[in-house]
Structure 1
Amino acid sequence: GVHRKLPEFLFFHPMNFNNTEHCLWGSCPERSLSTGIYMLLYLCVAAVVLLTICGNLLIIISICHFKQLHTPTNMLILSLAVSDCLVGVFVIPAALIWMIESCWLFSTLYRICFTFMSYFLTTMSIFNVALIAVDRYLALSKPFLYNKAVSLSTMCTVVLSVWILLLLYNIVLQYYNGSFEGLVMCLGNNFFIWSMVDLVLTFVLPCAVIIIFYVLVFFIAKKHASAIRELNSHTRNQTSKNMSDSMKSERKAAKVLGILVSVFLACLLPYFIYTVLEILQKFMMLVFLNSAINPVIYALFYPWFRRSVKLILTLQILCTDSTFIHIL
């Protein structure tokens, strides 16, 4: 049979500095799979793309439409959903087709777009999750200061600034790596230096922030749990009940977002291990498939998301004053 070469997903990632000899996107080998298998693979591609786009669109519509969901934390979730949705539009279809065909079937212009968007959106997702970790830590550790200092407009400004800064950073990164030069993308002269800078700035630092702050959140959540038990054992008045409910709500939010972060890191770590050790190339797809997993997490753990999806699918959001529907 014909040997099918693995798709070279990572030849052009700025951190994959050991593959500098590869400048071509390759020619298509002769197909060795049956038509039925190809149809099944492409149906799976369609399913993954639809899940990613539709799931994240439901999150985007929910947060944008319902006034009750306009909170600082939800602006970070909205930002993550936007980046995940764009991954579903620009990156996952081409990446999965590339995996199936073992060659690049699209135009040079789309290749440049695919390369840039995969770098930019992956980085944006990492920073979104890092911001969520910091946000949850501040909300749990300094609730009064958080409510006073972190407003909706402040969080929107922070999110917009991060998007702009990472967009500019990735344009500069691609330019100095030679990604925009000529019809064939080869690696620039400063490739190794930029590889190390990119590894530290877009993975090591944000992942360190994520891990450190969620460890702190874990200890704060344990402290809150002890405080709740103490309140319940000593008094049953309304004030203690309200405080207990508030602390439970914050702990639940931290728990759900902790699951989100854990899944994110589980999807991301194998890829970055590969970029350093050059092991198991197909783990690259986990980075992109994380964008499809996130809406499933929201559906499983957030009641407001399930309620908003029901209202969206039944077209009740088209009714007058639907933005003020009680969703929490």
Structure 2
Amino acid sequence: MSSNVPPPAAEQLCYENMNGSCVKTPYAPGPRVILYAVFGLGTVLAVLGNLLVIISILHFRQLHSPTNFLIASLACADFLVGVTVMPFSMVRTVESCWYFGESFCTFHTCFDTAFCYSSLFHLCFISVDRYIAVTDPLVYPTKFTLPVSGICISISWILPLVYSGAVFYTGAYDDGLEELSSALNCVGGCQTVVNQNWVLIDFLSFLIPTLVMIILYGNIFLVAKKQAKRIESTGCKTESSSESYKARVAKRERKAAKTLGVTVTAFMISWLPYSIDSLIDAFMGFITPAYIYEICCWCAYYNSAMNPLIYAVFYPWFRKAIKVIASGQVLKNSSVTMNLFSEQM
């Protein structure tokens, strides 16, 4: 008696003619095109948007300030995410295979971690910078100087790179998980399992600076509210020139703090799902479905594309700088001293 049941479809492999290849679970053509478009857009925004931020701050002399150099360094970290992490993660996510070799898998994971913590450290130092600027705007220029900004930038790069390199190149991340790591180790895969100790350290390394930023920005907005009320209550009175200057400086610093507060909030919202998922996954036996993990990853990656959009919305000088760069005026020697804060360029 013949059977009408069709034979099971052969499994697709990442490398068809290679033993030990990972199983491939590709998307249908329609969803694949959509995913490549969405992830590709994020990658282009991260690369071009952050490159514009870097060029703007480094080129225009008027933007040379300790805070802006921190922002440029933050943009550099996000730019590197767009160049060294997102394109390769895009192929891994859509094709469900890693085609770039085992060595580059470790390199990719190391960069992913390092640039994340670099962004976090930059934002934490920016929060401290804004706190000093808002609470004591007249003394701020003598406290947060260019050398201090340089030290903050150096710490924000050196510590994350040393930490991620030490964890992933020494193999400390999977101590106690050798059997699971070996079981997941197939040709065409780039899946890193991290033990509970390091996941907990990672989570605390994310949580503690985040709490510091929340506390600082909470205090910033309380001080800003008091300053606004004080200015409003004395608005009908004749102010001395020094008081008027102090009020203008305080208003400018509050506006800058508000914009960077939005940047910090966007970072926390973007990275919180991934951090919580990693913590739960490590303590619950790695039960997270692959698609949930990829969604969390791309929420975090997309943060690198969001910051330039935030600057474009809140910073008029950035919009003017983009116009100058896009029109080619940036090639003129006189553009270096251009006034980006005036109504007319």
Shorter-chain-normalised TM-score: which range? 0.7 to 0.9
Larger Rg: 2
- Supply the distance in 1 between the matched residues of 2:278 and 2:173 (Cα, whole angstroms): 18
Determine which structure has greater relative contact order: mean sequence separation of CA pairs < 8 Å that are 6+ residues apart, divided by chain length.
1
Q: Partner residue of 1:317?
A: 330
Aligned pair partner of 2:303 in 290, 294, 297: 290
1:216 aligns with 2:216: no
- Supply the distance in 1 between the matched residues of 2:127 and 2:201 (Cα, whole angstroms): 23
1:262 aligns with 2:258: no
Equivalent position SS for 2:259: helix
1:77 aligns with 2:71: yes
- Supply the distance in 2 between the matched residues of 1:157 and 1:178 (Cα, whole angstroms): 29
With the length of structure 1 as denominator, give the TM-score of the two structures. Answer: 0.84
Aligned pair partner of 1:58 in 40, 49, 52: 52
With the length of structure 2 as denominator, give the TM-score of the two structures. Answer: 0.80
How much has 1:48 moved relative to structure 2? 1.7
How much has 1:63 moved relative to structure 2? 0.4
Deviations 1:147-200 (A, max 9, x none): 112211321232123311221122112234357999958979x94333323322
How much has 1:145 moved relative to structure 2? 3.4
Contact 1:112 1:179 (C-alpha < 8 Å) held by counterparts: no
How much has 1:59 moved relative to structure 2? 0.1
Equivalent position SS for 2:52: helix
Deviations 1:32-69 (A, max 9, x none): 502x4433332333222111100000000000001111
- Supply the distance in 1 between the matched residues of 2:192 and 2:40 (Cα, whole angstroms): 32
- Supply the distance in 2 between the matched residues of 1:146 and 1:244 (Cα, whole angstroms): 14
Residue type of the alignment partner of 1:71 = S
Q: 1:192 to 1:44 in 2, by over 3 A?
A: closer
How much has 1:284 moved relative to structure 2? 1.9
Q: 1:270 to 1:127 in 2, by over 3 A?
A: same
Residue type of the alignment partner of 2:334 = D
Matched residues, percent identical? 35
Q: Partner residue of 1:235?
A: 238
Residue type of the alignment partner of 2:280 = L
Map residues 190-209 of structure 1 onto 2, 5 A cutoff: 191-200=195-204, 202-209=205-212
Farther-moved stretch of structure 1 (119-128 vs 232-241):
232-241
- Supply the distance in 2 between the matched residues of 1:177 and 1:198 (Cα, whole angstroms): 16
Equivalent position SS for 1:321: helix
- Supply the distance in 2 between the matched residues of 1:119 and 1:54 (Cα, whole angstroms): 22
Deviations 1:207-233 (A, max 9, x none): 111111111111111111112112312
Q: Partner residue of 1:248?
A: 251
Alignment coverage as a number of residue pairs: 305
Q: 1:161 to 1:31 in 2, by over 3 A?
A: closer
- Supply the distance in 1 between the matched residues of 2:25 and 2:312 (Cα, whole angstroms): 42
Residue type of the alignment partner of 1:135 = D
Aligned pair partner of 2:124 in 130, 135, 144: 130
- Supply the distance in 2 between the matched residues of 1:179 and 1:323 (Cα, whole angstroms): 47
Equivalent position SS for 1:232: coil
Q: Partner residue of 1:15?
A: none
Q: 1:316 to 1:273 in 2, by over 3 A?
A: same
Contact 1:298 1:305 (C-alpha < 8 Å) held by counterparts: yes
Equivalent position SS for 1:233: coil
Contact 1:136 1:254 (C-alpha < 8 Å) held by counterparts: yes
- Supply the distance in 2 between the matched residues of 1:172 and 1:221 (Cα, whole angstroms): 42
Equivalent position SS for 2:339: coil
Instruction: Point out where structure 1 has 5 or more consecutive residues left out of the alignment.
Output: 5-24
Instruction: Point out where structure 2 has 5 or more consecutive residues left out of the alignment.
Output: 1-7, 12-19, 282-287
Aligned pair partner of 1:277 in 275, 280, 297: 280
- Supply the distance in 1 between the matched residues of 2:97 and 2:191 (Cα, whole angstroms): 17
Q: 1:72 to 1:46 in 2, by over 3 A?
A: same
Farther-moved stretch of structure 1 (173-182 vs 219-228):
173-182
Equivalent position SS for 1:105: coil
Contact 2:62 2:337 (C-alpha < 8 Å) held by counterparts: yes
Contact 1:72 1:151 (C-alpha < 8 Å) held by counterparts: yes
How much has 1:241 moved relative to structure 2? 3.7
Q: Partner residue of 2:41?
A: 47
Please report the RMSD computed on the Cα atoms of aligned residues, expressed in angstroms: 2.8
Residue type of the alignment partner of 1:110 = F
How much has 1:74 moved relative to structure 2? 0.7
- Supply the distance in 1 between the matched residues of 2:147 and 2:206 (Cα, whole angstroms): 28
- Supply the distance in 2 between the matched residues of 1:166 and 1:239 (Cα, whole angstroms): 43
